[in-house]
Amino acid sequence: MTTSTENPWVERFIPLLNRDEIRRKVEVRPQLFADYEQLSAVEATKELEKRFKEVFFPSGQCIEILHEWVGLALEHCRHHYRGRREFLAALYGKDVPLPDFNFPMCLTGLAGSGKSQLLNALGRLMPENSSFTGVDNTKFGLESHRVLTVKVKGSATVILESLTGQSGGIPELTNVARKRSYRDGWALLGIDEFQFLTQSEKANTKLMQVLMSVCYLGIPVVYVANFSMLHKLLRRNQEDRQRLLGNVWGLFPESPTSSDWVSMLEWHKSIAPDIFVFDEVGDAQAIHQLTGGINRAENKLLIIAFRRALESGQAVGLRELETAYKSRDYAVYRTDIELLSKLPLSTVLPKANKDLWCPFDISPRFDSEEVFSVKRQERVGEAALEASLNTAERNALKALSKPSPKQKTSKVVSIDKKKSQVEQLKEDSAWFDENS
């Protein structure tokens, strides 16, 4: 498509400032899986897994983060592209009018929370490639963004070579990439899969080189980082920390009572409604406790229960989900979820499980219900206070907070907002201990 507007760089992003338009462009609704009976249990399970991966439910968090990314791209274009004549003069000048360094935005969250899916959604949201004719009648291409996936052999040189299509040293490739990004109108660069570069201290240096090299391109950069990576970056010197960790956003598990959590369950249930018969509203909090509100864990739990349903002929209600939770196939997820509930109450577990907690006190930057993971972080203060008590004081507190004896049932303990944070954590831990 060829555009004829005076400022095509800016105007392509204007429609994307509307949140309803963002939602419309990025959502991928579920498709009914009606012919699973014609497949073997293995084939049907694989197909369900594929369909879960294809679905993208844009929660309020996702919309706000995508809106922020569009804002970064729009601000960049408004500041650096004044019009067609100014563009041509800058393009043929000695240096392109881009900053020497652009401070990046980091998106972090628990593994499986949907960070990579959100970066994929960016591809559906951003303007399609187009072109425009300059004042000298030259036709220029217009590309809104780039997304890179870091591989095991990723390095600053490899990243720059992939951006430029050329070979050479880092300084030379950086100059070429800056010129190309300005010429083609790149307004945002996303980078994912950094976990391949966080396996050793030597790899940590490689990680820094990759991040710094793309920031020197002078365009907005968004990089996805797990908690382990943040802990590694925090060990860098002060100037590196300030450059790379000055703008950290989190993608949190949804609240167990939020409409987004219920809606996502409804979407997933609709893929195989004659198999999934749980109540997406009434069972929402119970399923949240089985999954921690983590997208990947919720997918896995439903996939395990689906496979068991095909073999047993029994539809999947809450009881079947609880059985799937205790299964061997869910063991890794179950371990993490139970650790997450106990982490704030321990002084030992955080040191051994840095992949499960964020080293920053970040909270949602949008108006929504308080999310579950943030509640856990806020409980740390009360847990620390409890840990500081002497033996007599701790025994007294334990006697006061001890739940009354009751018969063991398979019912999942839901979150009671009237309970104190410490009481809720104790109850969560007790449920996990009894039902593991």
Measured distance CA(388)–CA(383) in Å, rounded: 9
| Tens-digit pLDDT profile for residues 310-348 | 999 999 999 999 999 999 999 999 999 999 988 887 778
* 109 conformational bin, left if phi > 0, alpha if psi -120 to 50, beta if neither: left
Q: Is 305 exposed, middle or buried (0-12, 13-18, 19+ CB in 10 A)?
A: buried
257 with 368: CB under 8 angstroms?
no
Picking from 2, 15, 9, 4, the residue whose alpha carbon sits closest to that of residue 183 is 9
Per-residue pLDDT tens digits for 204-239: 788 888 999 999 999 999 999 999 999 989 988 899
pLDDT at 434: 64
* pLDDT reported for residue 218: 96
**What is the structure's pLDDT at 399?**
55
> What are the pLDDT tens digits along the chain (436 aa)?
555 568 999 999 999 999 999 999 999 999 999 999 999 999 999 999 999 999 999 999 999 999 999 999 999 999 999 999 999 999 988 889 999 999 999 999 999 999 999 999 999 999 999 999 999 999 999 999 999 988 766 789 999 999 999 999 999 999 999 999 999 999 999 999 876 666 655 667 888 889 999 999 999 999 999 999 999 899 888 999 999 999 999 999 999 999 999 999 999 999 999 999 999 999 999 999 999 999 999 999 999 999 999 999 999 999 999 999 999 999 999 999 999 988 887 778 888 888 899 998 887 554 443 444 444 444 443 444 455 454 654 555 455 455 545 444 444 434 444 444 445 555 566 666 666 5
3-state secondary structure 314-376: CCECHHHHHHHHCCHHHHHHHHHHHHHHHHHHCCCHHHHCHHHCCCCCCCCCCCCCCCHHHHH
* Residue 65 to residues 193, 375, 397, Cα–Cα distance (Å): 19, 20, 42
What pTM does this model have?
0.82
Domains recognised in the chain with CATH numbers: 2-32+59-250 (3.40.50), 259-435 (no CATH)
Is 245 in contact with 208 (CB distance < 8 Å)?
A: no
Of 305, 317, 315, nearest in space to 279 by CA: 317
pLDDT the model gives residue 394: 55
